């Protein structure tokens, strides 16, 4: 998550005291103007109470709690894998939207579009690389996040359901990656998706129907490409962002409460 102007302004409150510089005073004065007040709602950032109020009235900070347990700051607590996953999601959205401008999901166009992206579109190859490696890294980061949360015991009461939401997010991440895999329409994409979707055919009794819904036909073809594209750029991103918001909301709520443990001090 990158720093915003609002964040930097909040920072001024962090080093209050006798050494408040002229920059601090200037920011303070700007926040105190009618316009500043209308934006920040809480102009003063001197006492902890001011700072908490400023935090609550900032949209960009509202996904964070105001205070957090000290031990959660340490690298070893989370390895920051949740943040890493979220940043990779951001990188995927940014690079993905750029690629969408140059891509048509049809067997006649898809492959040549990718070639054009790589050879003619400004930074096309680079943006595609960023998208590809971010996707692989996100699968790794989300899986590692799950493992870290497991060993940390962070799924324990009262956070059980947030773990379940996390499992849903892992599934969505895999689906995002898998649907995107088909889009270049090269041999790698085509056959990886053929193998991957063959498993759906093994569902008892309704296997063929499941496969048909997934592929839009008995084999991977133009309707599969269109389906995967719509899932990849519209349905799954919307779902993942929605579920992620619930995940973060619950994280914030729970971060204000200690887990009730019986194994003494850590």
Partner 1 sequence: MSDLEHSTPVELSRTPNSVEGKRVLGVVPGKPAAGERKVIDPDDSVMVWPHLLVRHAVAAMVTLLTVMVIAVFFDAPLREVANPQNTPNPEKAPWYFAALQELLSMFHPLVAGILIPGAIVIGLVALPYIDNSRFIKPRHRKVAVTAFTSFMVIWIVLTLIGFMFRGPNWGWVWPWQEWHGEL
Of 174 and 243, nearer to partner 1 (C-beta) is 174
- Determine the Cα–Cα distance for residues 133 and 88; give it in Å rounded to an integer: 9
| Cα→Cα distances 84→119, 133, 214, Å | 30, 13, 31
- Determine the Cα–Cα distance for residues 88 and 90; give it in Å rounded to an integer: 5
CB of 236 to partner 1, least distance (A): 15
CB of 35 to partner 1, least distance (A): 22
- Give yes or no for a contact between 125 and 132, defined as CB atoms under 8 angstroms apart: no
Of 34 and 125, nearer to partner 1 (C-beta) is 125
CB of 193 to partner 1, least distance (A): 8
CB of 230 to partner 1, least distance (A): 19
Give the distance from CA 123 to its chain's centroid: 23
CB of 88 to partner 1, least distance (A): 6
Of 31 and 131, nearer to partner 1 (C-beta) is 131
Of 34 and 184, nearer to partner 1 (C-beta) is 184
> ∠ CA(108), CA(113), CA(115), 5° rounding?
115
Nearest residue to 184 via CA among 148, 147, 229, 151: 229
Structure tokens at 199: 């498993």
Of 34 and 74, nearer to partner 1 (C-beta) is 74
């Amino acid at each position: 998550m990158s720093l915003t102007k609002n964040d930097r302004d909040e920072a001024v409150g962090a080093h209050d005291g006798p050494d408040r510089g002229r920059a601090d005073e200037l920011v303070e004065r700007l926040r105190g103007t009618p316009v500043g007040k209308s934006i920040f709602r809480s102009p003063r950032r001197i006492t902890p109470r001011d700072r908490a109020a400023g935090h609550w009235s900032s949209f960009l900070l509202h996904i964070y709690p105001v205070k957090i347990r000290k031990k959660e700051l340490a690298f070893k607590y989370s390895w920051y894998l949740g943040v890493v996953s979220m940043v990779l999601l951001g990188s995927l959205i940014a690079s993905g939207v750029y690629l969408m401008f140059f891509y048509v999901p049809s067997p006649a166009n898809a492959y040549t579009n990718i070639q054009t992206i790589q050879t003619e579109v400004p930074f096309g190859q680079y943006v595609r690389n960023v998208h590809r490696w971010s996707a692989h890294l996100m699968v790794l980061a989300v899986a590692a996040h799950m493992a870290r949360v497991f060993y940390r015991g962070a799924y324990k009461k009262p956070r059980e359901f947030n773990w379940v939401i996390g499992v849903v997010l892992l599934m969505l991440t895999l689906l995002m990656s898998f649907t995107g895999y088909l889009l270049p329409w090269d041999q790698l994409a085509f056959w990886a998706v053929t193998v991957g979707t063959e498993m759906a055919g093994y569902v008892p009794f309704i296997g063929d129907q499941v496969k048909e819904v997934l592929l839009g036909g008995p084999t991977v073809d133009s309707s599969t490409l269109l389906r995967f594209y719509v899932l990849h750029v519209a349905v799954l991103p919307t779902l993942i962002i929605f579920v992620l918001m619930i995940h973060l909301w619950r994280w914030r709520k729970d971060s204000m409460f200690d887990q009730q443990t019986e194994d003494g001090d850590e």
